Amino acid sequence: MMTLSLFFKQHPKAAIAFSGGVDSAYLLSEAVRCGVDVTAYYVKTAFQPQFELDDAKRLASELGARVKVVECDILCHDIVAANPADRCYYCKREMFTLLSEQAKADGYTLILDGTNASDDAGDRPGMRALKELSVRSPLRECGLTKAEIRRLSRESGLFTWDKPAYACLATRIPTGEVITAEKLWKTEAAETYLSGLGLRDFRVRMMGNVAKLQVTAVDLPMVLEKREQLVTELKMYYDEVLLDLDVRKDR
């Protein structure tokens, strides 16, 4: 089985698609540890909340790694904004095409991403785009699962080790419903507020102009305790606020 150390020995220069999440954070840390000539590229779109960029910059700073932010106006692509079932494919293709162009201009020909061995390729249209663009996924190639990456990240002292899995803001909008900047802004504002209350693993999904909260069983008592202020705050953005009692499962 290939190891990350061996992978980076064979590929001493690479660009990493860096989201600030658990997987790409660990991949970047190992690249730095192995002495790779590496630059992390964060593609900023309307689909990513500000905290993801903040986490990416913090982690890169702690590792002493170079990071570049690449701006992408993802909503200008009609097929992405239309939000079809395979939206992720078109979104990933646009983002990684832009990232690859920037990386190649900087002298990198090898592009890596943080897909791990737990990710189901059959259920992720975005992974088809990565294959078409020849993006390599060392964590997956080395057989590293999400649980293993969290353990190794903790041992490496990365603050991202227990960061909840995060799907982009566009996933809060039902498939087939047009994505707009306003809908994304509402979602980010609502989720930023809930995060400020102390919730960690949750979603605020849109149903028309109704917010449906999905939280874990652990956070359910807090939501009920703060129900009145939570409803008051979220009604600044939505007509109604609903709580999904089919709670999110622990990651």
Per-residue pLDDT of 4-29, as tens digits, reads 999 999 999 999 999 999 999 999 99
CA dist., res. 150 & res. 79, Å (int): 35
Q: What is the pLDDT of residues 40-76, one digit of tens each?
A: 999 999 999 999 999 999 999 999 999 999 999 999 9
- Could you give the 3-state DSSP secondary structure of residue 8? helix
Contact 244, 212 (CB under 8 A): yes
pLDDT classification of 96: cutoffs 50, 70, 90:
very high
Q: How far apart are CA 227 and CA 109, in angstroms?
A: 51
* Tokens 């791990």 found at: 116
Between 166 and 203, whose confidence is greater? 203
Residue 114, pLDDT above cutoff 70? yes
Contact 42, 18 (CB under 8 A): yes
Are 145 and 116 a contacting pair, CB within 8 Å? Answer: yes
- pTM, entire model: 0.92
Which residue bears the tokens 């227990």? 162
Please report the pLDDT score of residue 129 as a whole number: 87
Domains contained in the chain, CATH given: 4-162 (3.40.50.620), 180-243 (3.30.70)
